[in-house]
Amino acid sequence: MKDLHPGTISIISDGTGETAATMIRAALVQYMDLEVHILRHKNVRTEGQLEPIIQEAVERKALIAYTVVAVGLRNRIRALASEKGIPTIDLLGPILTTLDQYLGVSEGRNPQAGLLRVVDDTYYRRIEAIEYTVKHDDGKALSELGKADIILVGISRTSKTPLSIFLSHKGFRVANIPLVLNTPLPAELNLVDQRKIVGLVIDIESLQRIRKNRLEKFGQDPGGTYASLDHIMKEIEFAHEVFRQNKRWPVFNVTDRALEETATEITRIVGTRMGWPDSAFF
């Protein structure tokens, strides 16, 4: 029976709150018969921002879940909530504390920096970039494609996801789109700035080896269509035809190349085309 008094979880985050929301939703799968509302408070970085959030939680009889790096702010959330009798979940603090202990970092060594790093605009941009990139992996959430800094296009196993994640840790919002044999490209690609789009290719033999290794790793038959030479040749030819039709997209061959090497070239090319400042490069 549905709960007649739905619960409310109020998320407090020093970034976008996407990580906290994802964790909460994953946990709520265990409570499918209950109605729970999720409120998200983004970019909370000062104690002055907390009072109205805490008051709202009191009025809604909410539970507060928070992902905040700065130790002082985490402690303040906990103290204010305790004063009002509000239950809390610190989603990030225990992880940082355990890492601090494991890595031998002294808590008192640099209190202004929190446990592991100085919390600044660059850090928050990186967190937002990572969250965007994870959400837009493998052709997902195409309606937000225009917000990407870089868009990678390629067939399966051309390092789209590893490159995306690597670039996101440098602060770039990256979306990647899979090329599927004889399948039209998503229409959304035509609506974005074409200077952001990059094609990825790989040599036939290398791709076959990578796909066979992947299938064997997961206990699947490496002799199927996915890793067959004939199928791979058709996929690669299809990719080259797509790139021939979209001449504005620079194409990078990722065969036997380190992620950082390819990522550096991609940011240099896209950055130059987009007119990014020198500070954007790494």
Q: How far apart, in whole angstroms, are the C-alpha atoms of residue 235 and residue 211?
A: 13
Per the model's pLDDT, the better-predicted residue between 130 and 108 turns out to be: 130
- Inform me whether the pLDDT recorded for 152 exceeds 60: yes
User: What fold, for 7-113?
Assistant: Rossmann fold (3.40.50)
Give domain 137-280's CATH number out of 1.10.3470, 2.60.40, 3.40.50, 3.10.310: 3.40.50
Does 137-280 match 7-113 at the fold level?
yes
pLDDT tens column, 194-234: 999 999 999 999 999 999 988 988 888 888 899 999 999 99
Structural Rg of the chain based on CA atoms: 23
Q: How many CB atoms lie within 10 A of CB 86?
A: 19
Distance CA 104, CA 38 (A): 36
Domain ranges of the chain: 7-113, 137-280
Query: At 112, is the pLDDT very low, low, confident or very high (cuts 50, 70, 90)?
Result: very low
The average pLDDT across 113-137 equals 71
Residue-level pLDDT at 118 = 43
Q: Which is it for strands 63-67 and 7-13: parallel, antiparallel or unpaired?
A: parallel
Which helix H or strand E contains 40, and what residues bound it? strand 36-41
pLDDT for 191 = 96
- Where does residue 48 rank: exposed (0-12), middle (13-18), buried (19+ CB within 10 A)? exposed
Half-sphere exposure (Cβ direction) of 119: Cα atoms closer than 13 Å = 19
Output 212-215 pairs: Cβ under 8 A, ≥24 positions apart.
214/157
**Phi, psi angles (nearest 5°) of residue 174:** -125, 135
Q: What is the pTM of this model?
A: 0.61
pLDDT score for 109: 41
Contact (CB, 8 A) for 281 and 267: yes
Closest CA to 171 of 43, 19, 15: 15
pLDDT above 90 coverage of the chain, percent: 67
Q: Which of 163, 124, 178 has the alpha carbon at shortest distance from 259?
A: 163
Q: Which tokens belong to 267?
A: 């940011």
pLDDT band at 249 (very low <50, low <70, confident <90, very high): very high
* 199 three-state secondary structure: strand
| Residue 223, number of CB atoms within 10 A of its CB | 10
Instruction: Give the pair of three-digit tokens for residue 180.
Output: 């599927």
Q: 71-84 and 50-60 helices cross at what angle (nearest 10)?
A: 30
- d(C-alpha 269, C-alpha 118), whole Å: 30
CB 84, CB 133: distance < 8 Å? no
Q: Please state, as a whole number, how many other Cβ atoms lie within 10 Å of the Cβ of residue 254.
A: 22
